[in-house]
Amino acid sequence: METVYINSPLGITKIIGDENGIAVISVSDVDTNEISETIPEVLQEAVSQLQEYFEGKRTDFDLKLNPKGTEFQQKVWKALLEIPYGKTVSYMDQTKKLGDVKAIRAVASANGKNPLWIVVPCHRVIGTNGSLTGYAGGLSRKKWLLEHENPSAQQSLF
């Protein structure tokens, strides 16, 4: 696995992956990681696409993904990929789409364990009342991402 650290508007972004795909994209406020001087070839496309996203030039990602997780987590993360850029859904909407309204806590937990920040858009899942509940990257980042994707207003997909 190769690793690269880049600057983003929301902190230091770490990308980990290999020829099998991108396994981790995360963000941190901690400035102990040095920004990478070189980008491993296998991560260059991920870096490029994230930069385009932050510049407002990209609304979807075309990357080979290889996140590690349980079968259930993989199912939840795959469903997140269906939420369009600039739209939001509630945790309940997501749970209903996955077919089991009783699994809302498990779905929320899987969202929280999403290892592919931004690319698998768990930031697009909000509370039923429209609140910005829960986000592993911090609510200020979630707010920034949602405003970046839809500066005029949030609209529900369902």
Say how far apart CA 96 and CA 104 lie, in whole Å: 9
> Domains in the chain, start-ordered, CATH in brackets?
2-55 (no CATH), 71-149 (1.10.10.10)
**Cα 19 from chain centre:** 20
Residue 122: what residue type?
C
The percent of residues in the chain predicted with pLDDT above 70, rounded, is: 94
* pLDDT tens column, 73-109: 999 999 999 999 999 999 999 999 999 889 999 999 9
Q: Tell me: pLDDT of 37 over 50.
A: yes
Nearest to 103 by CA among 93, 116, 115: 93
Q: Tell me: pLDDT of 20 over 70.
A: yes
* pLDDT tens column, 98-157: 998 899 999 999 999 999 999 999 999 998 888 888 787 888 999 999 999 987 754 444
pLDDT at 31: 66
| Burial class (CB within 10 angstroms; exposed 0-12, middle 13-18, buried 19+) of 37 | exposed
Reduced to 3 states (helix: H, G, I; strand: E, B; else coil), residue 90 is: strand
Tokens of 146: 């949602």
| Burial class (CB within 10 angstroms; exposed 0-12, middle 13-18, buried 19+) of 114 | buried
In the residue annotation, 122 being an active-site residue is answered as yes
The model scores a pTM over 0.85: yes
**Catalytic choice (122, 125, 126, 145):** 122
pLDDT at 158: 39
